[in-house]
Each structure stands twice: as structure tokens, then as C-alpha cells.
Structure 1
Amino acid sequence: MSVPGTPSAAESVTRSGVDPSFVNGTDGGLVDRLAATAVTDVRDYWRRTFEPVFGKGWQDLRGGFYSVDSSSRAARPAPCTEKASEVEGNAFYCPSADAIAWDRSALLPVLREKYGDAAVVIVLAHEIGHAVHHRAGVGVTEQRQQPSRFPTILTEAMADCYAGAFVRSVTDGGAAHLRISGEQLDAALGALVSFRDPVGTAKTDRSAHGNAFDRVSAFQDGYQQGPKLCSAMTVDNRKFTQTTFTSFDDRANGGNMEFQRMIGSVAADLDNYFSALVTQRGGTWKRPTVRTDEPRPGCEGRDQGPVAFCPATGRIELDGVTEVPRLHEQIGDYATGTLLATRYGLAAQSALGRPVRGEAAAKTALCLAGAYTGTVFGRREGFGLSPGDLDEAVQVLLGYDYGARDVHGEAIRSGFDRVESFRNGALGGPAACGFG
């Protein structure tokens, strides 16, 4: 996934580094110095936060931390493993040893290169998040004895949520050694997306970690609402959107429609949805004409990018030659569907006499696109979503601001905020977008 803002994301997140000598197996290098700095600030956060949330003091990890060079045959194995190569490309919490290990050769350097230093922080905060829910009473024994009550996907969501709560403390300036900017956070969330389950994995799978939508949602919930919300997660109050393929054809094509077929199918469905939305609220809906024959859409006002709603003509113009087909191919068909849905969101606001310019209009358009997506999710008949479609929505919104532009081309620059607005609509419906 291409994420804008990489120069800022590539900047260091450390105010001052921490000596990694307390890490077992460390080589003392830059990667382990970053990891040591991250886990030091995460531990400090939980020393301050654990008792107010859970009513008892924080107990530090008795087994400590392990850095492993998975490429070395001579490297000593970490807890819960028999040889160093078993850690390749991974970081994990070992409950039996109460320890955390990471691969300093094939994981952390890759995360830094692709997503920036903040990705390393999020991954290690997630692993300590597992230590948190174990200390809070959701451990291996509970998972083994009550698998339906404590499935893996739930504890993974808890760990993502706890990571989000910690990162919020960093962005608020509450960490001694770390700092994370908005651009760095946007880039780092790409790492969370990359760790999603393979498309089509059932949420009941014993090893399920969640799709991108579920994982980013959990992280954002922790970031926005804090660790108490994370601690209260249950299978009854947490909605997971991960689904399996329901047909052979859908599985065979990876859940993706051909570009022009997708445009026709989703446009017709969007028209039905927004027609009802507008008329139920006393407005008059005129079906937009969707044009896809121009490489660079153009209408009145400033450039909206490759998808544009033109209020004066009621048209929606979409670059069906270069950029949107590229995203369709690179990310998936619901990247196209999501971008188109945001323009219908602007059209709905225009039909009801609401502003279509400014940040509020752009956020509402994103929210309404999410509200539409929420109604499509789980359909058994007609146009519906494939297992990977929500992930595609997250990816295109996190990586690109096209769907978050008002009619004059002014955009919501934060990928985090773009996904948050879409998610509010997907989970809360039109009422969450001010269309009660």
C-alpha cells in the first residue's frame, strides 16, 4: 500500500534513546535501541494506568524481553520456541514465560523501512497488550476453558485497543522517550493493516486476528476512548466484520469484480440507498450521471481529484482511465466502491440543501459512505460485500485523501480521521453522520 507523507513518517519517533542492555540477546544496534525505547515507555504507561483501570498494581514481565536474529543459526531461541528461526518475521508474547520476543533481522527493520519507526512502537505495544489482558484475567486458561467467550479474535482486538490507548498517550506528549506525529501514525497504521488475516478467514478460526477494519477499529477505540473500553470488550458487545467467502466464484476471483462491472453495480445500489435517505428526509433526489470516460475529471470549483461530484450539473465524474483503475487493481474493487460512495454522500448533502464545502461536509460524505457500506455488509441477496471489501475501504482511505475532499478539493489530511469518519457511519448508520 502506498502511504503519502513518508518523509515525515521516516523521521525518528524517539526524543532520546534507551540503552537496550536489559534486552536478552540484544546486539545493541539501532533496531534494538528503538525497541527498548518503545517497551520502556509502554511499561511506564502501564505502571501509571493499570491500577486505575483494573484496581490492582502493574506487575512487570517476569520473563523480560528477547531480541532474536532469526537469520543466525547460532542465535539462542526465545521462550516458547526451540530455535531462533521460529521467530522469523514475528513478534509475540509468550504467556508461559511472561516474556516478549521479536525478530530484529526480518521483522523490525522491515517495519521501519515500509511504515516508519512508529510501526515498531505499535507492534510492541500490541504484544504488551497481551500481557495486560492476561494480568486482567483473560489468559490462556480462560481461553482454553471458554473458547466461545474468549476467542483469539477478541484478545487480539483487546491488544490492538491497548496499543491504541498507549499511542494516544504518546501523541498527547505523555511519554518520556517517544513522540509520534499524525503523519507517522497514519503510516504506521499501514503495518496494522498488513497484519490482517488472509481474506476469507472465518472470525471463529482459532488463530483469527481480525481483518484490517476490525484491527484498525480496535486500535482507534483505544486511542479515542482509553483502556477502560478495551478491558470491557466481550463477544457480546464487540462486532467483528470478518467473514468467509460464500460462493466458489467469489473465492475464485478473490472477491473482486472487473472495473466497469463494479461501477455499474455499485452505482445502481448507491442510487437506491441515497434516494431513500434523501426522500425520507424531505428532499428530492435526482440520480447522478456517473461518467468514467475522462482521465482527469473536471467540474466547477477546484480539483477534487480522480472522483468528483459536480453540484451544478448533478454529475459524478470519475477517472476511469488511469488513477481509479490503478487503485482498483492495486487495492481491490471496493476501493473504487468506497470512493464513489463518498461522492454520493456529497450529492445527498446537496440534495438536502446542506453545505458541500468545508471539513464538516467532507467528514459527512465519508460517514455516509460508511453508513451505506454498513447496510451492504451481510446482505444475502443483491449487491453485497466480499470478505476483503472492508479492508479495501480502510486501505484506500488511509492511503489517499480522494474520498475526503469537499467540492472545492479541500481534503481531510489525516488518514486516521478519514477512517474514523467512515467507521462511524459503518457502525452507527446515518444517525452517526447527523442524518437521524
Structure 2
Amino acid sequence: MKWEDQRSSDNIEDRRDQSGVTPRLGLGGGRLGLGTVLVVLAVGWFMGISPLTLLQMLSEGGEAVPVAAPETRTPASSADDRSARFVSVVLADTEDVWRSIFASSGGQYRDPHLVLFRGSTSTACGQGQSAMGPFYCPADQKVYIDLGFYDVLKTQLGAPGDFAQAYVIAHEVGHHVQHLLGISQKLDEARGRVSQAQYNALSVRLELQADCLAGVWAHHADRSRHILEQGDVASAMNAAARIGDDALQKSAGGAVVPERFTHGSSAQRQRWFATGLEAGTVRACDTFNARSL
């Protein structure tokens, strides 16, 4: 992915030098992000806890066991600094794309802020922890990421590559777009009126739409700035496959249970990212009225 000569975003908040302890895996009032299932899987492996148990706790708003984090911080490494620069460039590119898309329909895009942190940090959705992976908090309209997540993405889940990492950020920004359009609010309103299985099904459609919106960003970014290099699309498709609910359930050693899906299967995630990448329009990402996912 071509990114090193592109502008950085002014909407970065760096909290990596702040100390903190990660008390729990639960986010409280926040939504599960794309990276949540990835890091929970790794935590389950490290702690000997079923990842499906942790995922179920998170999806139902429960709390998991405490996970200790260092109380002191080491200076940022050169790799961290490069990753921070990369995230800032990707965020800036999403700003350019979504400002243009909103303006073309007579709207105005409000940039989200992106918070870099280590261990844990306070958010308007409750206490955020690195064990959750990247996530979006609609209450403060910020994306949160601990850069250590990218090591998990590469080494634990086998999804390396700059564009796979960009896909993660673009997905979370997709949740911000959903918030601005009032889509995520409708899902929140339905939480108390439907069963858990029905809510999970709606959550799948929301997450697949965010995948599609990530593809919309990539479509316009490549058309305007030619960011894609050989293998980039395959890298993102590989990441989408690795974090499909069916793939994670199989990796956890259990049976595939579609009723427990909250993000969609590998094939669904790949399909909707590809849909956004090919079409380049928000209209193409209407997963809620799609007859087939």
C-alpha cells in the first residue's frame, strides 16, 4: 500500500505515554469493534479460556476475568512510531474520501478523532482496554486503538500487510459513518425489543455494512491517489476471512453456530468488502435490505 508520502491527520490524540491498568475485557456501553474478536481469541489462547466464552460475554454486555496490564510504560519504539504515522495517514485518507462523498449528496462529514493508547484508557462509552482491539465509541465519536493489536493481527491470526491494517481502521471509521447517518442508533433502539438471536442478526448486518463502507473508502482512495499495490486487496480479503465468525468458532475448537454470529461469516465479510470496493457507493452497502448476505 502506498502511503508514506501522504498527509497525516490532525485528529490524532496520543495517550500512549499515560499509565494505566487494564481491569476487564468488557467495554460497558460501547460496541464491539472489528478487532475485538481478534484479540479476544488471542486472550483466550493465552489464558486458557474459551474464546467463545469471552466473545459471548462481550456480545451480551457482560464482563470477563481481569487481565493485568503493565503499570508503567516503555518509550515508543520506532516500529510504534511508524505504525502511528501509518494510522494517521489512513485516517487522513478516510477524511478526504468521506468529506467528498458527504458533500456530493449535500451533507457535511464530521471527522472522527482517533486515540492511540496502551493498556487502558477512558472513553465516553466506559473504560476501553487493549484486549478489545480497535473500536469505535459513538458517544464521543472517537476510534480507539492500541498499536500492539497489529502484532496480534499479523502473528496470531495470520493477517499481515499494510492494507489489512488499513482495512481495520476503515472499518471502524465505517461505524462512524453509520453513526452520522443514524443507522447505528436504530440498532441500539432495537436492543430491548428483540431477542438476543434477533439482535445478533441485526449486528451482523451492521458489521457487514461497515466492511462494505471500508471497501467504499478503498475504492475512492485508489481512484484518487492510487494507493493499492499488488497483493493489497488479497491482504484485506485474507483479514476478512480470518475474522469471520465461523472461522473464529472453528479456531476455538467448537461447532459453527450461526445464531451466535455478531460480525458475519468469512465469506460474508469478504463479499461485502468487495462490494464496496467495486461499487464505491453507500447505496451498494444496504445490508439491512439485502435478501442475501
TM-score class, shorter-chain normalisation, is 0.5 to 0.7
Task: Tell me the percent identity.
Answer: 20
2:91 counterpart (36, 39, 47): 39
Match of 2:217 in 1: 166
Structure number with higher relative contact order (C-alpha < 8 Å, ≥ 6 residues apart):
2
1:69 counterpart (80, 99, 118): 118
Aligned pair 1:144/2:189, yes or no? Answer: yes
- The one-letter amino acid paired with 1:237 is A
Alpha-carbon distance in 1 for matches of 2:111, 2:278: 26
How many residues align? The count is: 215
SS in structure 1 of the partner of residue 136 of structure 2: strand
Match of 2:278 in 1: 224
**Cα deviation 1:140-166 (Å, max 9, x = unaligned):** 344332655981001101100000111
C-alpha spacing 1:201/1:136, structure 2 compared with 1 (3 Å): farther
Match of 2:140 in 1: 97
1:123 counterpart (168, 180, 188): 168
**Cα deviation 1:42-71 (Å, max 9, x = unaligned):** 011100002435x4221222xx2111223x
Native 8 Å contact 2:11 2:114 kept in 1: no
Alpha-carbon distance in 1 for matches of 2:136, 2:203: 13
Aligned pair 1:183/2:231, yes or no? Answer: yes
Alpha-carbon distance in 2 for matches of 1:104, 1:159: 21
Aligned pair 1:209/2:263, yes or no? Answer: yes
Shift of 1:119: 1.1
Shift of 1:97: 1.7
Native 8 Å contact 2:102 2:108 kept in 1: yes
Aligned pair 1:108/2:125, yes or no? Answer: no
Native 8 Å contact 1:133 1:231 kept in 2: no
Native 8 Å contact 1:20 1:32 kept in 2: no
Alpha-carbon distance in 2 for matches of 1:139, 1:194: 25
Alpha-carbon distance in 2 for matches of 1:159, 1:82: 23
C-alpha spacing 1:25/1:221, structure 2 compared with 1 (3 Å): same
Aligned pair 1:239/2:292, yes or no? Answer: yes
Native 8 Å contact 1:93 1:128 kept in 2: yes
C-alpha spacing 1:21/1:92, structure 2 compared with 1 (3 Å): closer
Native 8 Å contact 2:187 2:203 kept in 1: no
C-alpha spacing 1:137/1:82, structure 2 compared with 1 (3 Å): closer
Alpha-carbon distance in 2 for matches of 1:154, 1:21: 28
Alpha-carbon distance in 2 for matches of 1:130, 1:224: 20
Unaligned runs of at least 5 residues, structure 1: 1-10, 241-436
SS in structure 1 of the partner of residue 4 of structure 2: coil
Alpha-carbon distance in 2 for matches of 1:24, 1:79: 17
**Cα deviation 1:285-321 (Å, max 9, x = unaligned):** xxxxxxxxxxxxxxxxxxxxxxxxxxxxxxxxxxxxx
Aligned pair 1:58/2:109, yes or no? Answer: yes
C-alpha spacing 1:20/1:34, structure 2 compared with 1 (3 Å): farther
Shift of 1:124: 0.4
C-alpha spacing 1:79/1:32, structure 2 compared with 1 (3 Å): farther
Shift of 1:103: 1.5
C-alpha spacing 1:230/1:129, structure 2 compared with 1 (3 Å): farther
Native 8 Å contact 2:12 2:115 kept in 1: no
Native 8 Å contact 1:221 1:229 kept in 2: no
Alpha-carbon distance in 1 for matches of 2:208, 2:109: 21
C-alpha spacing 1:202/1:166, structure 2 compared with 1 (3 Å): same
- The one-letter amino acid paired with 1:188 is A
Alpha-carbon distance in 1 for matches of 2:182, 2:100: 19
Structure having the higher Rg: 1
Aligned pair 1:29/2:81, yes or no? Answer: yes
Native 8 Å contact 2:15 2:115 kept in 1: yes
Match of 2:6 in 1: 16
Native 8 Å contact 2:272 2:285 kept in 1: no
Match of 1:195 in 2: 243
Shift of 1:108: 2.2
C-alpha spacing 1:16/1:111, structure 2 compared with 1 (3 Å): farther
Alpha-carbon distance in 2 for matches of 1:19, 1:57: 18
Alpha-carbon distance in 2 for matches of 1:58, 1:100: 16
- Please report the TM-score for the alignment, with normalisation by the length of structure 2: 0.64
**Cα deviation 1:83-123 (Å, max 9, x = unaligned):** 5xx22261111112211101212x12444674211111111
Native 8 Å contact 2:3 2:89 kept in 1: no
CA RMSD of aligned residues (A): 2.8
- The one-letter amino acid paired with 2:143 is I
- The one-letter amino acid paired with 1:192 is A
Matches within 5 A, 1:303-322: none
